Amino acid sequence: MTAPHPGPEPTEVRSALAAAAEYALFAPSVFNTQPWRWRISSGGVLALRADAGRQLHRTDPHRRLLLVSCGAALHHARLALAVAGYRAEVVRFPDDADPDLLAEITIVGRQDPDPEQLRQHQAAGRRRTDRRAFDDRPVPETVLHRLRRVVEAEGAFLHLVRPDQMPMLAVATANAAAAELEDPAYRSELRQWTTRPSERRDGVPASVAVRPAPRRVPIRDHTLGGDPGLEAGPGTDRGAAYLILFGRGDTPAGLLTGGEALSALLLTAVAEGLATAPLSDPIELDWPRWLLRNLLADVGEPYLVVRVGFCADSGPLPGTPRRQPADVIEYTDPT
């Protein structure tokens, strides 16, 4: 019989929770807003809060993408604790009167991480949103099955867009982009998050934006006709797989879970040698989102589209900035 792991000491718990919150800085977020904050209490609880000041009020008025982003950060924190050998209990939305309090994590013991968690954890530092074109190599069926499995393990679902559905996905995305670009408030919000001072360490800099080019599904113009740092490259996206991440309902709890599943999906894809690019354009407006529901045969609510594949350009991809831990993590007891 295996002897039980002894429980961690309070100072060890505090250090582990801080490391998990810091690791969560790697998580993806809409426009790289990083719309979360962490609070570590003297009782050994790591609380995840939505940062309402970082909500995209025009692009994301109902906080769907904010919650998905925070869910990705929550999964990153859970993953960091698991790989460090801790068993954690997570309570989501613990206070109905405080909707910005999204989750509380408590270390309840020790455990041995499984190989899947180790692979995901190692991939976080390599993960980038790659907006360049992917090549003609198809994503293997075994990998797509693995991606579906890790998403379902997190409580969400994955739909592979079929070839006959690709025109509708392309139309939904193109129409969403066109409608948003006609909106001065959207253009102002996009500029706000794509022309950030470097000391803010957030947003989407021009260095990771891609010059417009013919694509199977359009890519958002992050520079509004400016000078992107990357070319689309020689690929055509013909081998790319387009995956719709979805859940049973459009609720805060469902969206947070969807973000946790998104994190697991992206990290597993990177561990498998794939490039990844979340696409939120068709989720941001009602009519394109309705079209995506049709692609799902109305069995669920779409949370995000993710393009995965093999990048045709082997050149290095710049990273996006991340906020400093001191800007995101606070302590109720400063000692």
178 & 305 share domain? yes
Residues 287 and 152 in one domain: yes
Within a domain: 244? yes
Do the beta carbons of residue 46 and residue 328 sit within 8 Å? no
- Indicate if 79 and 211 belong to the same structural domain: no
Judgement on whether residues 153 and 97 belong to the same structural domain of the protein: no
pLDDT attached to residue 334: 58
Give the model's pLDDT for residue 5. Answer: 56
Q: Is 246 contained in some domain?
A: yes
DSSP states along 255-296 = HHHHHHHHHHHHHHHHHTT-EEEEE-GGGSSHHHHHHHHHHT
Q: Is the residue at 111 inside a domain?
A: yes
For residue 54, pLDDT over 90 is answered with yes
Look up the domain containing 285 and give its range: 141-309
Strands 45-50 and 86-92: unpaired
Nearest to 124 by CA among 270, 309, 315: 270
**Residue 335: pLDDT above 60?**
no
Q: Which residue has the tokens 């429980």?
A: 7
Considering the chain, what percentage of its residues have pLDDT values greater than 90?
89
Which residue, 109, 8, 3, 93, is CA-closest to 47?
Answer: 93
Is 186 within a domain? yes
Same domain, 101 and 32: yes
Q: What is the pLDDT, as a whole number, of residue 1?
A: 44
How many residues in the chain? 335
Q: Please calculate the CA angle 274-132-119 and round it to the nearest 5 degrees.
A: 20
Q: In total, how many domains does the chain have?
A: 2
Examine residue 281 and state whether it is found in any structural domain, yes or no.
Answer: yes
Q: Is residue 146 part of a domain?
A: yes
Q: How far apart are CA 22 and CA 257, in angstroms?
A: 20
Residues facing residue 157 across a β-bridge: 246
pLDDT band for 66, please (50, 70, 90 cuts): very high
AA identity, residue 335: T
20, 46: one domain: yes
* pLDDT value for 319: 87
Q: Is the pLDDT at 2 greater than 70, yes or no?
A: no
Q: Compute the Cα dihedral for 299, 305, 306, 311 and give only its sign.
A: positive
Max mean pLDDT among 4-8, 10-14, 307-311 falls in 307-311
Question: DSSP labels for 77-104?
Answer: HHHHHHHTTEEEEEEES--TT-TTEEEE
Give the CATH number of the domain where residue 220 resides.
3.40.109.10
Q: In the predicted model, what is the mean pLDDT of residues 227-244?
A: 94
* 130 occurs within a structural domain: no
Classify residue 118: in a domain, yes or no: yes
Can you give the pTM of this predicted structure? 0.95
Q: What is the pLDDT of residue 320?
A: 93
Considering the domain architecture, whether residues 116 and 195 belong to the same structural domain is answered as no
How does the average pLDDT of the chain come out, rounded?
94
225 pLDDT band (50/70/90 cuts)? confident
**Are the C-beta atoms of residues 158 and 243 closer than 8 Å to each other?**
yes
pLDDT at position 118: 96
Tell me, yes or no, whether 118 and 182 share the same domain. Answer: no
Distance CA 156, CA 133 (A): 27
> How far is C-alpha 262 from the chain's CA centre?
5
Strand 275-279 relative to strand 45-50, pairing: unpaired
Contacts of 209 (CB under 8 A, 6+ apart): 131, 194, 221, 222, 223, 226, 228, 229, 230
Confidence of residue 321 (pLDDT cuts 50, 70, 90): very high
Mean pLDDT over 123-137 rounds to 95
Task: Categorize the per-residue pLDDT at 117 as very low, low, confident or very high, splitting at 50, 70 and 90.
Answer: very high
- The strand pairing partners of 242, in sequence order, are 307
pLDDT tens-place string over residues 255-272: 999 999 999 999 999 999
Which pLDDT does position 10 carry in this prediction? 81
Distance CA 288, CA 186 (A): 16
Q: Which two tokens stand for residue 238?
A: 């013909």
Query: Do residues 215 and 165 both lie within one domain?
Result: yes
SS3 119: helix
What mean pLDDT is predicted for residues 173-191? 96
**SS3 of residue 304 by DSSP:** strand
Q: Are residues 177 and 68 located together in one domain of the fold?
A: no
Q: Report, as an integer, the average pLDDT of 91-118.
A: 96
What number is the average pLDDT over the span 209-214?
Answer: 92
Give the mean pLDDT of 38-46. Answer: 94
In this structure, the answer to whether residues 166 and 292 fall within a common structural domain is yes
91 and 181, same domain (yes or no): no
Return the pLDDT at 201.
Answer: 96
- Under the phi-then-psi rule, with left for phi > 0, alpha for psi from -120 to 50, and beta for the rest, what region is 212? beta
